[in-house]
Amino acid sequence: MAKEESNKKGINWLVLIPVILIFVVGGSIGGAYVAAKLFNSPTSEAAAKHSVTISKKQKIVAVKKFLINLSPDNANEQQYVQLSLSVLVANEDDSSKLTKNIALVRDSVINVVHQKKASDILGAADSIPKLKNDLKDAINRAYGEKIVQQVFITDLVIQ
């Protein structure tokens, strides 16, 4: 009888510790899931807005890295941009046209970016999409036809 009373009075730690661990782990997983849903919804909507679907005929052409002087914000300060990009074209013929005359692409990119200031490129949320659109328009103007459908900036460093 004394043994039964002592067993009922004490806390059974062998049962309590695993139950607490289950609640802690479950709460952590649930909290992480809820936090991910709350904080990632605007980003995923923005990514879906700017996403591009590429068909099997379309080709992506990589262009060598650029190092371009930017227009100075101040008279004393010279800034540079290092830029890598790829362009989306409609088919293999346009891809070969583009690679054959890559100097037109490089010249167009240099002319557009050289006129920009660092604040123009990094200043607003829509400045990178605007830069991409400016690059696409300049390349298409240089070719005299709509050869480039989309510009992808794959590397961007401003110093």
Q: Give the per-residue pLDDT at 102.
A: 92
Q: Give the per-residue pLDDT at 68.
A: 92
Per the CATH hierarchy, to which homologous superfamily does domain 59-158 belong? Band 7 domain (3.30.479.30)
pLDDT digits (tens, 9 = 90+) for 60-109: 999 999 999 998 877 778 889 999 999 999 999 999 999 999 999 999 99
Q: Which residue has the tokens 């952590």?
A: 28
CB atoms within 10 A of CB 44: 10
Q: Which residue has the tokens 């914000």?
A: 73
pTM of the model: 0.66
Q: Measured between alpha carbons, how far is 12 from 153 in angstroms, rounded to an integer? A: 61
Are the C-beta atoms of residues 61 and 85 closer than 8 Å to each other? no
Q: Measured between alpha carbons, how far is 89 from 133 in angstroms, rounded to an integer? A: 14
Q: Measured between alpha carbons, how far is 147 from 116 in angstroms, rounded to an integer? A: 24
Are the C-beta atoms of residues 114 and 131 closer than 8 Å to each other? no
Complete DSSP assignment for 91-116: SHHHHHHHHHTHHHHHHHHHHHHHT-
pLDDT digits (tens, 9 = 90+) for 26-60: 989 988 888 887 776 555 455 555 556 778 899 99
Of 84, 86, 57, 82, residue with least CA distance to 69: 82
Q: Give the per-residue pLDDT at 151.
A: 94
Mean pLDDT of 10-39: 85
